[in-house]
């Protein structure tokens, strides 16, 4: 019986899952999370981000991520598990974030001293002390410059799967090159969070997988190679600084002597890491077309598998590589969990209070709309944050709770239409998916069954399953993806949240009102007539 280890290095925490996997199924035998703000306060992050004066800038600490990995390995070693049968390790990481290493890193990664903590040995390898992450919206100028040099936004979208986006790694690299050309020149390798963490495990520069590589505006989606036009448009000599691209199932090395000696771990295979959304695709069992998953994490995302890439003509969605070898479509809403928390905290509620307040306001909220762009938004693109209320009093607790939840679900529904999926079933995951009241709104807005997952961290689970899949492939005993996920997606016996057809009809209508309010918030005409017309059509009250 072999053990498989999967990590999820997310915005706010590092999670580790260990599973025993064989033909008979997948059993989780260890699960642990380190929350950065609470357990590593010395780095000073707030929700995993280093505080700063400019709300458009979001950076975090690569040292903190490495430190968390070291501490998690100690927890694992102290867990009492017999880790001698640990066969393979993989991981998931928040997408788009980048880590800048200098030329010393290559040798120093190989020569880490097991007697000393990892973090003290990492600082000397960094060419940049901080890492820009996916919440950063400060690179609009660089997006425009890259688009112009690479033949326009639509051409970049067609080749890379997404038009230039502020948080994507290419525009972030360009901004760094412009702001600090000396430090840029001293950068030998630019990793994503995923390949950085894999490098720490393998003790050598790890390559990147296409799932995460496609979040950079630099990879040719078709060939899974760097697209020279975009690479050249982004920054000088960038081609030499990028990791190699390998299939998601590639073995990038063995767990290095540092970890073996420090924690008595075996030389397990290290499988290429991927992004959290590509890993969640596997962890929610979406290995066939037609179903979607919604992850309610720090960001809210909706995604599904695509056999052929259909690029979003409206320019809000993304096509990424899928770890299963094809593609995935994704839409990301930035004002997710933190927006829900903003409302919860404004009314000094617990999550239970929040759920009760949600149920206390009528579905449709009497046509009152909250546009929850507390922070700059990704979908649709909003450069300066600022929430808007239409007919909603700021001091109405239930109205604002319902307002934020309905708005988020309607935004996901509205901005994922480009994926062209007839959504009948939604696999719900992420920290907020434990909240059944939120999932009921999701089911009614989409008119689809919602299946919550037992393991809320589908990204870490996806990493475990990817480790297993790659390990079997390396042993020339490949297992089909259907079989890999079979045990975890069986909805039998699992709670299914079924939509109410009448409410779904109401939400279909409300969606046009929501779209009118969004358009107004972006500078369009007054939505008051649309709201009044909706009210005249609907008299439904809660119950
Ligand atoms: P990430 O992986 O992006 O770091 P998670 O998927 O772990 O994020 O989700 C963390 C979020 O889950 C927290 O920010 C919190 O707002 C949310 N959350 C946790 N419990 C609940 C709950 N009962 N209801 C709603 N949201 C919740
Ligand atoms: C996806 C995105 C976020 C991050 C953090 O494009 O930006 O979902 O991966 O979770």
Taking the CA atoms of 113, 74, 102 and 463 in sequence, report the sign of the dihedral they define. Answer: positive
Looking at the CA of 9, name the nearest ligand.
1
CB atoms under 10 Å from CB of 537, counted, come to 12
Q: Quote the CA–CA distance of 95 and 330 in Å, as a whole number.
A: 12
Neighbours of 107 (CB within 10 A): 10
d(C-alpha 216, C-alpha 163), whole Å: 10
Average pLDDT across the chain, whole number: 95
Residue 313: its pLDDT value, please? 79
Is residue 463 lining ligand 1, measured as CB closer than 6 Å?
Answer: no
Distance between CA 200 and CA 210 in Å, rounded? 20
Atom from ligand 1 closest to the CA of residue 337: 16
Give the pLDDT of residue 494.
Answer: 66
Question: How far does residue 194's CA lie from ligand 2's centre (Å)?
Answer: 12
pLDDT at 542: 40
Rounded mean pLDDT, 90-101: 98
Give the three-state DSSP class for 186.
coil
User: CA nearest 421: which of 541, 330, 507?
Assistant: 330
Closest protein CA for atom 7 of ligand 2: 134
Q: Whose CA is nearest to atom 27 of ligand 1?
A: 432
As beta bridge partners, residue 13 has: 35
For ligand 2, whether the C-beta of 280 sits within 6 Å is: no
- Asked if the model's pLDDT at residue 136 lies above 60, the reply is yes
Distance in Å, CA 133 to ligand 2 centroid? 9
Number of H helices, E strands in the chain: 22, 21
Q: Report d(CA 158, CA 150) in Å as an integer.
A: 11
**Which ligand minimizes its atom distance to the CA of 137?**
2
- Longest pairwise C-alpha distance within the chain: 72
Ligand 1 centroid to residue 44 C-alpha, Å: 20
Residue 469: name the closest of 278, 291, 307, 330 by CA. Answer: 278
49 within 8 A of 135, measured Cβ to Cβ: yes
Pairing of strands 425-429, 292-296: parallel
Identify the H or E element spanning 228.
Answer: helix 228-234
Length of the chain: 543
pLDDT of residue 490: 60
Whether the pLDDT of residue 463 is over 50: the answer is yes
Quick check: 424 and 290 in contact, CB under 8 A? yes
297 lines ligand 1 (CB under 6 A): yes
Q: Report the C-alpha gap between 165 and 84 in whole angstroms.
A: 44
The percent of residues in the chain predicted with pLDDT above 90, rounded, is 92
Q: Give the separation between CA 511 and CA 532, rounded to whole angstroms.
A: 14
- Residue owning the nearest CA to atom 10 of ligand 2: 94
How far apart are the CA of 340 and the centre of ligand 1, in A?
9
Neighbours of 149 (CB within 10 A): 15
Q: Is the pLDDT of residue 492 over 80?
A: no
User: Does position 166 have pLDDT exceeding 80, yes or no?
Assistant: yes
Nearest CA residue ID for atom 9, ligand 1:
431
Q: Which residues pair with 301 in a beta bridge?
A: 295, 332
Q: Is the CB of 294 under 6 A from ligand 2?
A: no
Does the beta carbon of 300 sit less than 6 angstroms from any atom of ligand 1? Answer: no
With contact defined as beta carbons under 8 Å apart, do 466 and 90 qualify? yes
Residue nearest to atom 26 of ligand 1 (CA): 432
Is 169 near ligand 2, meaning CB less than 6 Å away?
Answer: no
Closest approach atom of ligand 1 to CA 276: 2
User: What's the rounded Cα separation, in Å, for the pair 482 and 462?
Assistant: 13
The segment with the largest mean pLDDT, out of 253-257, 305-309, 418-422, 538-542, is 253-257
Residue with tokens 């019986």: 1
214-271 residue pLDDT tens: 999 999 999 999 999 999 999 999 999 999 999 999 999 999 999 999 999 999 999 9
Q: Residue 192 CB: number of other CB atoms within 10 A?
A: 29
Question: Containing H/E element for 466?
Answer: helix 458-474
Task: Express each pLDDT in 145-165 by its tens digit.
Answer: 999 999 999 999 999 999 999
13 Cβ inside 6 Å of ligand 1: yes
- Mean predicted confidence (pLDDT) in 118-132: 98
How many angstroms is it from 464 CA to the middle of ligand 1?
21
Which of 97, 297, 337 for mutating ligand 1's site (highest number of atoms within 8 Å of CB)?
337
Best residue among 429, 432, 460 to mutate for probing ligand 1, ranked by most atoms within 8 Å of CB = 432
> pLDDT tier at 541 (50, 70, 90 boundaries)?
very low
Asked if 207 and 195 touch (Cβ cutoff 8 Å), the reply is yes
The pTM is what? 0.94
DSSP string, 384-408: S---EEES--TT-HHHHHHHHHHHH
Distance 168 CA to ligand 2 centre (A): 10
Atom of ligand 2 nearest to the CA of 275: 9
Report how far ligand 2's centroid is from the alpha carbon of 299 (Å).
Answer: 6
Pocket test for ligand 2, best of 301, 432, 456 (most atoms within 8 A of CB): 301
How remote is the CA of residue 235 from the centroid of ligand 1, in Å? 36
Classify residue 127 by its DSSP letter: S
Q: Distance, CA 134 to ligand 2 centroid (Å)?
A: 6
Could you tell me how far CA 96 lies from the centroid of its own chain? 9
Task: Give the C-alpha separation, 11 to 358, whole Å.
Answer: 27
Smallest CA separation from ligand 2 atom 6, residue? 332
Q: Give which of 338, 304, 298, 339 is closest to 324, Cα–Cα.
A: 304
Per-residue pLDDT at 489: 66
Counting ligands in written order, the one closest to the CA of 135 is 2
Give the model's pLDDT for residue 170: 98
The reply to whether ligand 1 has any atom less than 6 angstroms from the CB of 301 is no
Over 70: is that where the pLDDT of 543 sits? no
Least confident of 21-25, 225-229, 510-514: 21-25
Query: What mean pLDDT comes out for the span 428-452?
Result: 95
Element (H, E) at 176: helix 169-179
Report d(CA 254, CA 264) in Å as an integer.
Answer: 14
Q: What percent of the chain has pLDDT over 70?
A: 98
CA of 398 to the centre of ligand 2 (A): 29
pLDDT of residue 499 exceeding 50, the answer is: yes
pLDDT surpassing 80 at residue 488: no
Instruction: List CB contacts of 226: < 8 A, sequence separation 6 or more.
Output: 218, 219, 220, 239, 242, 245
431, 433, 463, best to mutate for ligand 1 pocket (most atoms within 8 Å of CB)? 431
Helix (H, G, I), strand (E, B) or coil at 522: coil
167 in contact with ligand 2, CB cutoff 6 A: yes
pLDDT value at position 518?
98
């Amino acid at each position: 019986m072999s053990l498989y280890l999967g990590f999820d290095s997310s915005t706010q925490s590092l999670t580790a899952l260990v599973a025993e996997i064989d033909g008979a199924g997948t059993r989780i035998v260890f699960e642990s999370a380190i929350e950065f703000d609470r357990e590593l306060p010395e780095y000073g992050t707030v929700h995993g981000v280093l505080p700063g004066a400019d709300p458009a800038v979001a950076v975090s600490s690569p040292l903190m991520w490495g430190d968390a990995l070291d501490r998690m390995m100690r927890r694992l070693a102290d867990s009492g598990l017999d880790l001698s049968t640990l066969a393979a390790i993989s991981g998931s990481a928040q997408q788009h974030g980048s880590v800048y290493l200098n030329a010393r890193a290559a040798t120093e990664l190989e020569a880490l001293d097991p007697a000393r903590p990892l973090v003290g040995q990492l600082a000397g390898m960094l060419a940049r002390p901080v890492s820009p992450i996916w919440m950063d919206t400060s690179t609009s100028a660089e997006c425009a410059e890259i688009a112009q040099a690479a033949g326009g936004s639509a051409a970049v979208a067609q080749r890379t799967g997404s038009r230039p986006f502020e948080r994507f790694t290419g525009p972030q690299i360009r901004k760094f090159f412009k702001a600090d050309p000396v430090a840029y020149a001293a950068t030998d390798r630019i990793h994503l969070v995923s390949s950085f963490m894999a490098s720490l495990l393998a003790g050598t520069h790890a390559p990147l997988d296409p799932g995460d590589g496609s979040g950079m505006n630099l990879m040719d989606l078709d060939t899974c190679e760097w697209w020279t036009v975009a690479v050249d448009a982004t920054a000088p000599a960038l081609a030499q600084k990028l990791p190699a691209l390998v299939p998601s199932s590639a073995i990038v090395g063995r767990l290095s002597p540092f970890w073996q000696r420090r924690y008595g771990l075996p030389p397990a295979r290290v499988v290429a890491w991927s992004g959290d959304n590509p890993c969640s695709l596997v962890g929610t069992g979406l290995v066939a077309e037609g179903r979607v998953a919604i992850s309610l994490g720090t960001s809210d995302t909706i995604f599904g598998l695509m056999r052929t890439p259909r690029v979003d003509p409206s320019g809000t969605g993304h096509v990424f590589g899928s770890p299963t070898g094809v593609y995935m479509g994704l839409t990301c809403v930035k004002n997710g969990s933190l927006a829900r928390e903003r409302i919860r905290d404004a009314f000094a509620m617990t999550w239970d209070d929040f759920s009760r307040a949600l149920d206390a306001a009528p579905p449709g909220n009497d046509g009152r709309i909250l546009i929850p762009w507390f922070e700059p938004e990704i979908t649709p693109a909003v450069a300066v944050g600022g929430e808007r209320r239409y007919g909603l009093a700021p001091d109405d607790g239930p109205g604002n709770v319902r307002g934020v939840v309905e708005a988020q679900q309607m935004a996901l529904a509205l901005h994922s239409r480009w994926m062209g999926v007839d959504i009948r079933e939604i696999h719900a995951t992420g920290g907020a998916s434990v909240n059944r009241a939120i999932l009921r709104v999701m089911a009614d807005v989409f008119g689809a069954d919602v299946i919550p997952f037992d393991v809320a961290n589908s990204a870490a689970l996806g990493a475990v399953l990817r480790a297993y899949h790659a390990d079997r492939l390396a042993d020339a005993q490949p297992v089909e993806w259907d079989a890999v996920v079979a045990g975890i997606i069986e909805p039998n016996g699992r709670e299914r949240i079924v939509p109410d057809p009448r409410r779904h009809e109401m939400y279909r209508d409300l969606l046009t009102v929501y779209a009118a309010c969004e358009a107004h918030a972006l500078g369009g005409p007054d939505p008051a007539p649309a709201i009044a017309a909706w009210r005249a059509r609907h008299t439904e009250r809660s119950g």
